[in-house]
Amino acid sequence: MTQPRLLTGDRPTGKLHLGHYVGSLENRVRLQHQYECFFIIADLHMLTTKNSREDILESAENARHLVLDSLAAGIEPERATFYLQSAIPELSEINTLFQNLVTVPRLERIPSLKEMARAAGKEEMPYGLLGYPVLQAADILCVRAHIVPVGKDNASHVEVTREIARRFNGLYGEVFPIPELMIGDVPTLVGTDGRAKMSKSVGNTILLSDDEATVRRKVFSMYTDPARIRADIPGTVEGNPVFVYHDTFNPDRAEVDDLKRRYREGTVADVEVKERLTEAINAFLAPMRERRAAYEADRGYVETLIVEGTARTRDEVVLTVREMRSAMGLTSTWNRIRRRAEDRAKKIGAAG
């Protein structure tokens, strides 16, 4: 291993949005030259909340969009290893070996799991969802990642990974690095509805692949200050979704400060504030649209990246499983049993 490793990824449930960018993708782009990067297409994790046959069949196209969005955002294909989680069966073995290193009460204390169950309309938590952080630990540690850029909602999951790595190392020897967590500068981006974080399941997103007209329509549908019914009424900037987005995506700080001042004074209309935001977001997304179109024009290119990346990742995971089994004594146990069986076979052969 010549460089420290980075592991992160997404479930193939749809295209990526601005919340994904500020929560994790921005860090992936920034760190890609400092780390050897593995990006998981987490289709097994998808099954915890979306497991119909239709969902599974759609995941191939969604996987393609995840990679396209990543490349459009600035991930360089030669710096990235994209892989499909379900195509690496050894992950299941790692998951099984890790299950005995964490307790049910520890997993039940993770608040995001309950939120995921509610968002998916589950009255009771499926076993797979309760074990989501354990499989996530297998994802991270199977390639021995050193850093994990994720959104704020996954921070508690990564802490479980750190605990499992420490417990394994303490019991069996130093096999895994203890991965560091990295959260984006804007850990949670409010959605266009102003009520909840930006989320595909809620439908309050601005996608990285949205065209200019779609961005404009979504921005102009955004909530602002509900008490401000006319442009000459002073408005509240703090917590106002439109200004949250200005602070995040508008690089013209003088313009943003001027808009805030006039909004507080009641001397600027919401229309102008949203028009300036539309221009800023479209300018932010323009290079992504251009890169996406170029990669999309090469039919089969993205799928080739996934196939090659999955093969390479599986080679790494096989090595990890081999070292885990050796450290735990499982390899020695099997070898002893096998040798005795071979000795018996030799004796029988010699007697015959």
Question: Is 348 among the domain residues?
Answer: no
* Same domain flag for 251 and 126: no
Whether residue 68 is found in the same domain as residue 180: yes
| Residue 178 shares a structural domain with residue 312 | yes
Cα angle: 73, vertex 11, 250; to 5 degrees = 35
Q: In the structure, what pLDDT confidence band is assigned to residue 237 with cuts at 50, 70 and 90?
A: very high
Indicate whether 69 and 133 sit together in one domain.
yes
pLDDT of residue 1: 56
Cβ pair 83, 313 in contact under 8 A? yes
136 and 17 within one domain = yes
CATH number at residue 228: 1.10.240.10
Asked whether residue 70 falls in the same domain as residue 176, the answer is yes
* Model confidence pLDDT, tens digit, residues 3-43: 899 999 999 999 999 999 998 899 999 999 999 999 999 99
203 has a pLDDT exceeding 70 = yes
pLDDT at 352: 66
- The answer to whether 82 and 312 are in contact (CB under 8 A) is no
Q: Rounded distance, CA 291 to CA 285, Å?
A: 10
User: Which one is predicted more confidently, 132 or 309?
Assistant: 309
Which of 95, 94, 71 is closest to 82 using CA atoms?
Answer: 71
Query: pLDDT averaged over the chain?
Result: 92
Q: Give pLDDT, residue 342.
A: 92
User: Which DSSP state fits 24?
Assistant: I
Is there a single domain that holds both residue 166 and residue 250?
Answer: no
pLDDT-based confidence at residue 55 (cuts at 50, 70, 90): very high
Q: What is the percentage of the chain residues whose pLDDT exceeds 70?
A: 99
What is the reported pTM? 0.89
Q: Are 69 and 209 in contact (CB under 8 A)?
A: yes
Q: Are residues 13 and 125 in the same domain?
A: yes
Q: What is the pLDDT of residues 263-308, one digit of tens each?
A: 999 999 999 999 999 999 999 999 999 999 999 999 999 999 999 9
* DSSP secondary structure of 175-225: -S--PEEEE-SSSS-B-TTSSSB--TTTT---BTT--HHHHHHHHHT----
Identify the residue whose tokens are 């960018």. Answer: 21
| Total number of domains in the chain | 2
Write the CATH number for 181: 3.40.50.620
User: Quick check: 242 and 222 in contact, CB under 8 A?
Assistant: yes
Tokens of residue 264, six digits: 């507080």
Q: Are residues 175 and 67 in the same domain?
A: yes
Q: What is the pLDDT of residue 202?
A: 81
Residue range of the domain that includes 252: 212-293
Q: What is the pLDDT of residue 184?
A: 73
**Radius of gyration from C-alpha coordinates of the chain:** 24
Shared domain for 217 and 321, answered yes or no, is no
| Domain assignment of residue 62, yes or no | yes
